[in-house]
Amino acid sequence: MAGEKPGKEALVPAAASSQRLDKWLWCARLAKTRTQAAALVSAGKIRVNRIKTDKPAHIVKAGDVITASLGPRVRVLSVKAVGDRRGSPEVARLLFDDLTAPAEAAAIKEPRAADVVRRDPGTGRPTKRDRRLLDRLKGDT
C-alpha cells in the first residue's frame, strides 16, 4: 500500500450493517420490484419495531422486527442480515426469521377457499347473475 493516500481505506464501504427498508423488502423477496416495495411502505403496510413508517428510505438493521400486511395476510419477520443484492429464494430466506404464528404461516402457504372459485369446464364466462352470486358467496357484498 505504499504510495496510497492515508485514509483511503475509509472510502471503501465496509460490510453494510444497515439498509433502506424498500431495498431490504426487495432483497428479501417480499416485493417483486423496488417500486412495489416503496409503494407498500408509502401505503403504510409496513411497520418496523411496531412503529408504522411511510418512508421507503427508513433504515433497517439486524435485529429489527418488520410487520408486513400483504393482502389479507400479516407476516412478522425478524431481520437477520441485510442483502447486497436480490438473490434466489433460498438466499432471501437467510435474511430473516419468520416470526409469524404457525397457524397464520400455514394459511399463507395454502389458498383460502374463498380465493379459489371453481367453474366446470365449458360453462363459459359467468353471467352477471352468476358473478353476483359468487360475490355474495365470497362475502364481497
* pLDDT (tens digit per residue) in 110-138: 656 556 667 677 777 888 998 898 888 88
More confident residue, 7 or 74: 74
Across residues 53-71, what is the average pLDDT?
92
* Whole-number average pLDDT of the chain: 81
Rounded Cα gap, residues 16 and 83, in angstroms: 8
Report pTM. 0.64
Q: Quick check: 38 pLDDT over 90?
A: yes
Please name which of 85, 70, 89, 74 lies closest in space to residue 29, comparing C-alpha atoms: 89
Identify the pLDDT of residue 116. Answer: 64
Identify the pLDDT of residue 39. Answer: 94
Please name which of 49, 19, 14 lies closest in space to residue 34, comparing C-alpha atoms: 19
Buried b (16+ CB within 10 A) or exposed e, 18-48: ebbbbbbbbbbbbbeebeebbebbeeebbbb
Torsion of CA 50, 53, 57, 61, to 10 degrees: 0
Domains of the chain: 15-110 (3.10.290.10), 114-141 (no CATH)
